[in-house]
Amino acid sequence: MSIYSTNFTRIKNHNPLLFNIVVWALCYSVLIFIFSKGNSPIKIDFIYTFGFLVSVAIPSLINLYLLIPFFLKKEKYLYFFLLFILTIFLFARLNTLFLESILDYLFSSYFFISYDTKIGVTSIFFILLTTTTLLKLSEDWFYFNKQLNKRLLMKNNHIQMQLTSLRSQINPHFLFNSLNVIYALALDKKDETQDAIIQLSDILRYVIYDSSSKKNSLQDEITLLKNYINFNKLRTQNIKNVELNISVEDNNFMLYPMLLLPLVENSFKHSITKNTNNSFINIQLKQEKEVFEFCIENNKSTKEESIPNKYSGIGLKNIKDSLKLIYPEEHKFIITENEKTFKVSLSLTTSKPKT
């Protein structure tokens, strides 16, 4: 069964009393006009029309509350069609056989005759049952569409709340590490401290303001990475080999903000080692048409040099969570590591985030 039909059968909007009052009031008005042939109806016309309406209402209710829920909405179309036609012919036949006799018995002072032929009665039954079926399905469809829009809106709001939460985790985490850089420079009384503060302010301006956008140009993200790399070069001389290779076809390629910075931040944090010859960070960034690829690899510090941190891994987890929300089924996020190196590969197949 399709998702649409599954949800369709679960609709709880139908108010039987209100629906039937409206439908049969309309049907009665149409039938009284037909049976009186456009003339001013008299009492016998009202009585006959009411009796006829009751005879057609019974199969219509069977169709609305048995055939449609148990056959049509469960995609048993052949069974529904056969039972629908059978119901029409059966009750149309009962109408022609018994309606006049019943009315003559109940209203003996009147003489009732059929207002239409057998074929005409069958046609009326077919039209009314088809009309009530379409009205019921239309009612369900409008409600289903309304509920679907509500669910989509709620889902979008939920995603926005999650992304906001992820950003709130990234920004303080990044700020904490950056202030440590400034602190280290200040302790050593290095001349670069002033430059580092200016660079940090540019980075934070982007993180706080520009990252609030749903998407930014790839050029802006690249500028952010370059600023961050230069900022961290002021922090330590232990990482001499930092390579950034960029191959971009379209600088206006739109990318969800703050996906790349935590990866670079993570590499700097975990590649610091006393052996400067073995310290490296290699970054490959490539964009062509609708494909974006980012790969970053770094050496791993030894166990003795690594600093225990209960917040370690927050950046990577946030990226994974963000990718699931904004690029579902359109991304690959692969982590490869061994005793000496740590590598993260990210690829996207679209330039249009989902939010």
What pLDDT digit, counting tens, does each position of 80-134 carry?
999 999 999 999 999 989 998 898 888 888 877 777 788 888 999 999 999 989 9
The DSSP call for residue 350 is: -
Q: Which tokens in the block code for residue 232?
A: 């961290």
Rounded to whole angstroms, how far apart are CA atoms 263 and 313?
Answer: 10
pTM over 0.85: no
Alpha-carbon distances, residue 176 vs 117, 122, 338 (angstroms): 88, 81, 28
Q: What is the pLDDT of residue 235?
A: 62
Give the pLDDT confidence score for residue 156 in this predicted structure.
65
- Residue 297 pLDDT: 94
Query: How far does CA 18 lie from the centroid of its chain?
Result: 33
Pick the closest to residue 216 from 255, 251, 248, 246 (CA basis): 255
Looking at the predicted structure, is the pLDDT value of residue 242 above 60? Answer: yes
Q: Name the pLDDT band for 273 (thresholds 50, 70, 90).
A: low
How big is the chain, counted in residues? 355
Alpha-carbon gap, residue 342 to 260, rounded angstroms: 16
The mean pLDDT value of the chain amounts to 80
CA–CA gap between residue 197 and residue 340 (Å, rounded): 33
> Which domains are assigned to the chain?
3-150 (no CATH), 190-348 (3.30.565.10)
More confident position, 165 or 124: 124
pLDDT of res. 19: 83
pLDDT of residue 184: 76
Per-residue pLDDT band for 2 (boundaries 50, 70, 90) equals very low
Q: What is the pLDDT of residues 70-83, one digit of tens each?
A: 999 888 999 999 99
Q: What is the pLDDT of residue 3?
A: 43
What is the rounded average pLDDT of the residues 289-294?
93
Q: For the residues of 211-259, what is the DSSP string, one character each?
A: GGSS-EEHHHHHHHHHHHHHHHHHH-SS--EEEEEEEES-TT-EE-TTS
Furthest C-alpha separation in the chain: 116
**Average pLDDT over every residue of 254-282:** 79
What pLDDT sits at residue 71?
Answer: 92
Tell me the C-alpha distance between 245 and 62, whole Å: 71
Give the pairing of strands 341-348 and 331-337. antiparallel
